[in-house]
Amino acid sequence: AQSVAQPEDQVNVAEGNPLTVKCTYSVSGNPYLFWYVQYPNRGLQFLLKYITGDNLVKGSYGFEAEFNKSQTSFHLKKPSALVSDSALYFCAVRGGNTGFQKLVFGTGTRLLVSP
Amino acid sequence: GAVVSQHPSRVICKSGTSVKIECRSLDFQATTMFWYRQFPKQSLMLMATSNEGSKATYEQGVEKDKFLINHASLTLSTLTVTSAHPEDSSFYICSARDAGTGGQNTEAFFGQGTRLTVV
């Protein structure tokens, strides 16, 4: 069975500093990995995905994520955080061998960027 | 990205009544839509997968008679919470994938969610 772990419930960072939100996964076959962001009382917005190719994936709003196969990780990063980045972030995986096309989400990490 | 519209964004209903939530793909066709439930400060729990023209597939533990799903067209799926009770109060989110490009490697697009409060 596929699973996703986000070990941090909350990440605090000062504006202008780099941020990292951690994600590790477990899946059969090649993983398809996604990051989504959720603002209060809103649905999820797609940030970026890894399918194949370069391990460093660039996405929306200056975010990027690095796929590390040996560590089964897909950490979300941003070089310089903004207060407006404060939100709930979800990592998700879909297994390559899965015929049923559903995403499995992590528990989410709340990012708080202080001015 | 593609747009998924969910309506209403917020609804309050009395215990025992039914509530219908609509999920529409506005600029693409979605043969499959997904319904999630999110509890406060928790992740998304997949409730069911809605397939156009056929019966929905429910996840284990989800009552199909309580959460009725209809996917009558390629752009609309509805979730009806029947005989709602306060414990059904939650945030419900739908998502859809583009039928034309929706392979395993494509992202899903999400509606803005519906906050249901049963009083």
Cβ contacts from A onto B, under 8 A: 57
- Which helix (H) or strand (E) segment holds residue B53: the answer is none
Q: Mind listing the pLDDT tens digit for each residue in B29-68? A: 888 899 999 987 778 899 999 888 888 999 999 999 999 9
The reported pLDDT for the residue numbered B27 is 85
Query: Are A101 and B43 an interchain contact pair (Cβ–Cβ within 8 Å)?
Result: no
Judged by CB atoms within 8 Å, which residues 72-101 of B form the interface with A?
Answer: 91, 93, 95, 97
> What is the share, in percent, of chain B residues with pLDDT greater than 70?
93
Calpha distance B66→B80 (Å, rounded): 8
Q: Is any Cβ of chain A less than 8 angstroms from the Cβ of B108?
A: yes
Chain B environment of A98 (Cβ under 8 Å): 104
**Cβ contact, residue pair A102, B49, below 8 Å:** yes
Q: How far apart are CA A90 and CA A45, in angstroms?
A: 10
What are the pLDDT digits (tens) for A76-110? 999 999 999 999 999 999 876 555 557 889 999 99
